[in-house]
């Protein structure tokens, strides 16, 4: 705990057997109280390794629910376990667990309700192996989203995120897509609810065992990002009423 707040790390896992242990071993358990692993019907021994590591809370999907569906299970379980600060960490070791203390402190001290680990802040994205086409797409989509959402994030596409319990209880994340655009919809919901988002520099690591989405899924994600941004702007203007924003309370 930190300042009396329960800290939970959630691991949305799919075929993470080769990297789960190294990821888990770098988690700072002087701050982190619980770890939840949600396995999205992996084809390898991810669940067996999780049990050997002593992870107490393992959720096994009986069918593959997708990246977004996995996160829904992660956050629902974390709230069920009374988590006050919830960090979403990919178990493929693409994002370093060593940033957890920095992310947790920003929330525990009441500075922000949401913290992102940005691969774009600084100059490490390309040096860390991010493919050029993904870097260019990241920059283009982020520019478009910042314009549509009147914001100034360095990137919307990182999978390293920390949330306060308040945020997860406020936004309607269960109404989001079960696919990769879930991440983007969450940030749109957070902006719409009036919260500020902090970013910290996160080293970029691309390697053979790290997960990566296909070109087809990347294209689907890109169009989903554009659609989410347009939906957000139309909702703010009062032209439409989208269900992903309906349960949000807009702060003054």
pLDDT of residue 210: 55
Q: What digits encode the pLDDT tens for the residues 173-220?
A: 999 999 999 999 999 999 999 999 999 999 877 756 555 566 677 888
- List phi, psi (to 5°) of 221: -60, -45
Q: Are strands 114-118 and 197-201 parallel, antiparallel or unpaired?
A: parallel
Structure tokens at 56: 């107490």
SS3 222: helix
Structure tokens at 46: 């991810």
Plot region of 161 (φ>0 → left; ψ -120 to 50 → alpha; else → beta): beta
- The structural domains of the chain, with segments of one domain joined by +, span 7-246
If you ran DSSP here, which 8-state letter would residue 5 be given? Answer: B
Top-level class of domain 7-246: alpha beta
Residue 205 Cα distances to 105, 131, 144, 160, 211, angstroms: 24, 11, 25, 13, 11
Neighbours of 177 (CB within 10 A): 19
Residue 171 Cα distances to 89, 108, 243, angstroms: 20, 20, 11
pLDDT at 92 over 60: yes
- Give the separation between CA 171 and CA 2, rounded to whole angstroms: 24
Please state, rounded to an integer, the average pLDDT across all residues of the chain. Answer: 92
- Give the separation between CA 166 and CA 140, rounded to whole angstroms: 31
pLDDT of residue 52: 98
Is residue 193 within 8 A of residue 248, CB to CB? The reply is yes
pLDDT of residue 248: 53
pLDDT of residue 135: 87
Mean pLDDT, residues 115-123: 89
Q: What digits encode the pLDDT tens for the residues 134-167?
A: 889 889 999 999 999 999 999 999 999 999 999 9
For 67-105, b where at least 16 C-beta lie within 10 A, e where not — what string? bbbbbbbbbbbbeeeebbbbbbbbbbbbbbbebbbebbe
- List phi, psi (to 5°) of 227: -60, -45
Mean pLDDT, residues 45-70: 97
């Amino acid at each position: 705990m930190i300042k009396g707040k329960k800290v939970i790390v959630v691991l949305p896992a799919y075929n993470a057997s080769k990297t789960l242990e190294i990821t888990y071993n770098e988690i700072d358990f002087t701050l982190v109280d619980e770890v939840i692993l949600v396995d999205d019907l992996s084809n390898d021994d991810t669940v067996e390794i999780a049990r050997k590591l002593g992870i107490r809370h393992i959720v096994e999907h009986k069918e593959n629910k997708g990246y977004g569906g996995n996160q829904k299970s992660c956050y629902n379980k974390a709230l069920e376990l009374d988590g006050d600060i919830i960090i979403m960490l990919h178990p493929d070791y693409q994002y370093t667990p060593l940033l957890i203390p920095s992310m947790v402190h920003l929330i525990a001290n009441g500075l922000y309700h949401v913290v992102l680990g940005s691969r774009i802040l600084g100059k490490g994205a390309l040096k860390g192996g991010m493919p050029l086409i993904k870097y260019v797409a990241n920059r283009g989509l982020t520019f478009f989203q910042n314009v549509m959402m009147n914001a100034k994030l360095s990137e919307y596409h990182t999978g390293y995120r920390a949330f306060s319990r308040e945020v997860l209880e406020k936004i309607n994340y269960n109404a989001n897509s079960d696919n990769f655009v879930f991440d983007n919809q969450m940030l749109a919901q957070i902006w719409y609810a009036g919260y500020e988002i902090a970013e910290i520099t996160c080293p970029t690591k691309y390697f053979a065992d790290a997960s990566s989405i296909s070109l087809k899924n990347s294209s689907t994600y890109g169009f989903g990002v554009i659609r989410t941004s347009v939906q957000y702007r139309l909702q703010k203007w009062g032209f439409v009423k989208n269900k992903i924003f309906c349960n949000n309370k807009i702060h003054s």
